[in-house]
Chain A
Amino acid sequence: MSAPLTAWVEGVGVLGPGLRNWPNASAVLAGGAPYEVSPTSIPALECLPPAERRRTGKVVRLALAVGLEATAREGTERATLPAVFSSSGGDGENLHEICQVLASADRQISPTRFHNSVHNASSGYWGIATGATAPSNALCAYDASFAAGLLEALVQARIDETAVLLIAYDADYPQPIRSVRPIPDAFGVALLLTPAARPHSLARLTVQLCAAPPERLPDAQLEALRAQIPAARSLPLLRRLARSEAGAAMIEYQERQSLHIEVSPCH
């Protein structure tokens, strides 16, 4: 195992199929409410100016929605909060539209489509929406994107001695890319991480790389969700947080490696 990295979770945001927000997801993951699968419903964004709002696709709305939920506590300074965005693929609908036009005779792609095609589009819109001028990152590590984002955020929290907002998100591709990357629906998760305990900390995380396989979820439908959407690889960690249960969550990282996350609830 590697040297451990530690941080405290202060806020959580979740959106996914049948998971409307963290209180709802928390109840489902703690076993107090049934899991009823329904398409992911992403709220409209009130926080962007109308012109920007019109330009954003589903993926950006997903990322911003979970980020806003995780930082909703009064007193959380979004403008000075560094952020780590991580996604296995970014905006599939936008990519599809661009590739379709480039394969046609005229090739004139829309300027908005083009600037939305960058992997850090969510990070850019987050800055415009919240006024955040702090450093912001945009990572990709294919199916390990949640774990890679978490490592990046933990390292930054420790070295820069700052709170860090992690936002991991993925959405489904339209056909024909869907056939080669069959992500069934959208899932986003955000964690507000701090380098030291604070009054509203939910739990301490102590994270190491290890050579064990990732943990599966006991509920078959939640396990299917975990396995099908890269950002939902976070579910074993969210389950521990929801249950306020001390113990280790094993999260999928790269080939032959997982993140061993020791969760110690604060209350």
Chain B
Amino acid sequence: MKPLALSAFTASSCLGRGLDPTLAALEAGRTGLKPCAFETVTLETFVGEVAGVDEERLPAGFAEFECRNNRLAHLGLRQDGFEEAVRAAAARLGRARIGVWLGTSTSGILETELAYRRRAPGTGALPGDFRYRGAHNTFSVAAFVQRALGLEGPAAVISSACSSSAKVFASARRAIEAGLVDAAVVGGVDSLCLTTLYGFHSLQLVARTPCRPFDAERDGLSIGEAAAFALLEPADQKLTAPAVLLLGTGESSDAWHMSAPHPEGRGAGAAMRQALAAASLDAGEIDYINFHGTGTASNDAAEARAVAAVLGTSVPGSSTKGATGHTLGAAGALEAVICALALRQGLLPGGVNTSSLDPQLPVNYVRESRHARLDAVMSNSFGFGGSNCSLVLGKAG
């Protein structure tokens, strides 16, 4: 594929708002996970909650979009000059020539969960202030972001569970290559809600302690929330170093099980191979891999096998979910932005919380962050329904 530049990018998670606190936390090996005190949830678990989401105010005229997910999206757009960079691109290219592809798994479902508690006794009717389209619907976050950025090009949400906001990079790069748009805002926004907290709990996939990816004692994931965005543009104009490029995307399906990965990581391997081929890179040219690494027994085992088969066992890798939690539909974009930061800073981020590596997992797991020259990195995202996506990012020049 033709490389695309990430001409602007930003991420907000429990590590903080924007790139500076994110980088500082990654360098220091700090986790943002805390004991769950979200809403009325009584589960014994840790979550990666973004501070101040409910204090975030949407701009005037956006009342129909009020929900935690869109407040988090707005908080995210305001960091690192992202909004300004998109507006400048729109002035240059035209508002209708910039598309919006965003990933989310649960969008504003929290609003519906809360509205169900306020149903009218007797009739069961929802409260009059409940707005399905702007708050709950899966597309709401793309509609909100498109309007907030003043864009008028094509827009869609991709909602394939935990691969959602990795797959947006693939869809956007095809749309740019086909000439449907000249540039694209991609990203992921997913926010805490009861459905995912109690849902993963029902599958017995939630850890009681902060999640420990690739640890011999790992016992599940920790749920987080995040908003991460990138502006993708053709990389043919003269790039200012140290520009970060999207070099390859790969997608596949497991065709195996709704909520468990293929045990040998069949689909995961196919996605990684495809991403490498699209990037025209050999396995040995990947300097770091950001694992999907949820911290569940089955994910980490299947992923380790797939990575060993495709990249070998020596490539340094880590899961940053010990720091951010699993941000589900935002994870692909959050971890792509972490990879972009890693490339820009020459930082190999260590995976936190993991104390005794599982000897069964044939990977070179990095636990202490260190500085290193990185030219090309890979990020994995796998979701329910057997949806897999791998991205390869690299440095220009």
Contacts and interface: CB of A to CB of B under 8 A. Distances in A.
Nearest to B41: A107
Nearest to B204: A111
A137 B139 contact: no
A109 B156 contact: no
Interface in B144-166: 152, 154-161
Given A107-B198, A176-B126, A254-B155, A5 B178 contact: yes
Contacts of A71: none
A141 B156 CA distance: 5
A128 B180 contact: no
Interface in A33-48: none
B88 interface: no
A119 B256 CA distance: 17
Interface stretch (B224-232, B345-353, B381-389): B381-389
**Which of B124, B126, B156, B256 has the most C-beta atoms of chain A within 10 angstroms of its own C-beta?**
B156
B385 A120 contact: yes
B117 A116 contact: no
Given A3-B179, A128-B255, A139 B157 contact: yes
A115 B137 contact: no
Given A102-B198, A142-B137, A151-B180, A121 B112 contact: no
B313 interface: no
A120 B198 contact: no
Contacts of A209: 154
Contact of A114 (B112, B157, B200): B200
Given A117-B195, A181-B132, A99 B112 contact: yes
B326 to A, nearest CB: 14
B306 interface: no
A119 B138 contact: yes
Given A127-B386, A158-B178, A115 B258 contact: yes
Contact of B252 (A52, A117, A128, A133): A133
Contacts of B159: 118-120, 138-140
Interface of A: 2-3, 5, 52, 55, 79, 88-90, 95, 98-100, 102-103, 107-111, 113-121, 123-125, 127-128, 130-142, 145, 148, 151-152, 154-156, 158-160, 175-177, 179-181, 209, 253-254, 256
Contacts of A52: 258
B142 A2 contact: no
Interface residues of B, number: 62
A160 B258 CA distance: 26
Interface stretch (B28-36, B45-53, B60-68, B167-175): B167-175
Nearest to A149: B156
Interface in B356-384: 383-384
16 contacts: A88-B137, A98-B195, A103-B116, A115-B199, A115-B259, A117-B199, A118-B159, A118-B383, A118-B385, A119-B160, A121-B384, A121-B385, A123-B387, A138-B385, A142-B133, A148-B154
B207 to A, nearest CB: 17
A134 B143 contact: no
Interface in B242-271: 251-259, 266-267, 270
A209 B181 CA distance: 11
A159 B387 contact: no
B160 A134 contact: no
Interface in B176-229: 177-180, 194-195, 198-200, 202-203
B105 A118 contact: yes
B255 A3 contact: no
Contact of B137 (A138, A140, A154): A140
Contacts, number: 201
Nearest to B135: A180
Given A120-B161, A120-B384, A124-B253, 19 more contacts: A90-B138, A111-B202, A111-B203, A115-B258, A119-B138, A120-B160, A133-B270, A136-B253, A137-B160, A137-B167, A140-B157, A142-B140, A151-B180, A155-B171, A155-B174, A159-B174, A180-B131, A254-B154, A254-B155
Contacts of B85: none
Contacts of B174: 155-156, 159-160
Nearest to B172: A155
B130 interface: yes
B383 A120 contact: yes
A136 B387 contact: yes
A138 B257 contact: no
B180 A95 contact: no
A127 B254 contact: yes
Contacts of A124: 253, 258, 384-387
A116 to B, nearest CB: 7
B334 to A, nearest CB: 18
A123 B167 CA distance: 14
A65 B131 CA distance: 32
Contacts of A119: 105, 138, 159-161
B203 A115 contact: yes
Query: 7 tightest CB-CB pairs across the interface, nearest first?
Result: A124-B385, A114-B199, A119-B159, A135-B251, A127-B255, A103-B116, A140-B138
Contacts of A100: 116
